[in-house]
């Protein structure tokens, strides 16, 4: 090739490169969702002996992944619309097997991805409350549980299970005659060393009162409180929060959701109680770390 030909080839290559960069910039400017998706893909978090608690951003819904060494468990599976995002997130974290999967209660924003989780991962134990619900999503979940090799554990108070060196205790549902499905939520307290994490599902004040009547303050104290019912005023009553006395609260909810979650009264309450708040609608996926002695935010 002549010198001139080589020069022309280089010129074209530079022009093509500039066009490519320009296209990417325009695409990201016009479609910020792409940027958001890229940001939500967190590379594998490996903390060695420490425990990681991921409050995964699944829009308006709940999904929390807990990892400790090579063990993993999942609390809720988000809404159906976020199933692909949840699958991607779990794959990015190198998850193949889940020792426990808790479906707190049968509402779609908690079990929408349940069938996917049961089909794509080796789930050892499924924990769920003994309540039925008539919906396609719930029936799909039941079918997937039946098809899987998972052991079914009914969420009942006082049941305690080992998760490596951590311990998972089911606090609720306590009664078997709740009229609101939210109060049937399996409430989980996870303890690692001297740190503890409370996962409220969508439990409302009726269940909170039952929990307070059954357990003493020592059994309810936690470092991190996953706000009940996406930060709604139906839950998170001041006396209950006073007993739990957390340092951090995490609210799992969708940006501009139709329910107005989290409610301003709850944000005010957290602020008055000096509780540091993280929100999946603002912060995206939140990841906290416990080394058994203290809790810190790593994302
Ligand atoms: Zn919910």
Backbone angles phi, psi at 227, to 5 degrees: -50, 140
72 with 204, same domain?
A: yes
Calculate the CA 140 to chain-centre distance: 21
Cα(4)–Cα(163) distance, integer angstroms: 69
Confidence tier at 42 by pLDDT (50, 70, 90): confident
Cα(3)–Cα(5) distance, integer angstroms: 5
155 with 199, same domain?
A: yes
90 with 59, same domain?
A: yes
Which tokens go with 144? 């997937």
| Domain span holding position 49 | 31-297
CA distances from 82 to 138, 145, 227, 281 (A): 16, 20, 20, 14
Cα(15) to ligand 1 centroid in Å equals 51
49 with 5, same domain?
A: no
Cα(48) to ligand 1 centroid in Å equals 32
Percentage above 70 pLDDT, the chain:
87
276 with 149, same domain?
A: yes
6 with 136, same domain?
A: no
Confidence tier at 173 by pLDDT (50, 70, 90): very high
21 with 136, same domain?
A: no
Cα(231) to ligand 1 centroid in Å equals 10
Cα(250)–Cα(208) distance, integer angstroms: 17
For ligand 1, a single-atom ion, the residues with CB < 5 A are 109, 202
The answer to whether 241 and 217 are in contact (CB under 8 A) is no
Cα(29) to ligand 1 centroid in Å equals 32
Cα(3) to ligand 1 centroid in Å equals 67
47 with 143, same domain?
A: yes
The pLDDT tens digits of the residues spanning 213-251 come to 999 999 999 999 999 999 999 999 999 999 999 999 999
Percentage above 90 pLDDT, the chain:
83
22 with 170, same domain?
A: no
Cα(268)–Cα(26) distance, integer angstroms: 40
Interacting residues of 150 by C-beta distance below 8 A, sequence separation 6+: 101, 118, 123, 124, 125, 126
pTM of the predicted protein model? 0.86
Bond prior to 173 in cis (omega within 30° of 0)? yes
Query: Is residue 294 pLDDT above 90, yes or no?
Result: yes
Cα(49) to ligand 1 centroid in Å equals 31
Cα(217) to ligand 1 centroid in Å equals 26
6 with 128, same domain?
A: no
pLDDT at 55: 98
Residue 75's domain is classified under what CATH number? 3.60.15.10
48 with 22, same domain?
A: no
16 with 122, same domain?
A: no
Cα(203) to ligand 1 centroid in Å equals 9
Nearest alpha-carbon partner for 77 in 102, 100, 95: 102
Confidence tier at 13 by pLDDT (50, 70, 90): low
Number of domains in the chain: 2
Question: From edge to edge, which strands make up the β-sheet containing 286-290?
Answer: 151-154, 122-128, 97-102, 71-75, 64-68, 51-55, 286-290, 295-297
Cα(130) to ligand 1 centroid in Å equals 18
pLDDT at 22: 56
């Amino acid at each position: 090739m002549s010198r001139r030909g080589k020069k022309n080839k280089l010129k074209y290559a530079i022009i093509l490169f500039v066009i490519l960069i320009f296209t990417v910039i325009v695409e990201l400017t016009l479609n910020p969702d792409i940027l958001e998706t890229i940001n939500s893909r967190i590379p594998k978090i490996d903390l060695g002996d420490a425990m990681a608690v991921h409050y995964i951003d699944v829009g308006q819904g709940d999904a929390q992944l807990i990892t400790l060494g090579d063990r993993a468990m999942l609390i809720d599976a988000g809404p159906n619309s976020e199933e692909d995002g949840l699958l991607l997130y779990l794959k990015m974290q190198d998850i193949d097997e889940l020792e426990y999967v808790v479906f707190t209660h049968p509402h779609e924003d908690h079990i929408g991805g349940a069938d996917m989780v049961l089909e794509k991962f080796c789930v050892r134990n499924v924990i769920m409350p003994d309540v039925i619900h008539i919906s396609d999503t719930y029936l799909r979940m039941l079918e997937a549980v039946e098809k899987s090799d998972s052991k079914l554990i009914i969420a009942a108070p006082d049941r305690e299970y080992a998760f490596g060196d951590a311990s998972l205790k089911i606090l609720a549902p306590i009664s078997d005659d709740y009229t609101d499905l939210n109060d049937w939520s399996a409430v989980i307290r996870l303890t690692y060393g001297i740190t503890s994490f409370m996962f409220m599902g969508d439990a409302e004040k009726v269940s909170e009162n039952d929990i307070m009547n059954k357990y003493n303050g020592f059994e309810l104290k936690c470092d991190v409180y996953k706000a009940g019912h996406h930060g709604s005023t139906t839950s998170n009553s001041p006396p209950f929060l006073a007993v739990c006395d957390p340092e951090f609260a995490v609210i799992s909810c969708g940006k501009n959701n139709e329910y107005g979650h989290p409610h301003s009264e709850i944000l005010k309450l957290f602020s008055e109680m000096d509780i540091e708040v993280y929100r999946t609608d603002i912060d995206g996926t939140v990841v906290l770390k416990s080394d058994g002695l203290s809790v810190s935010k790593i994302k």
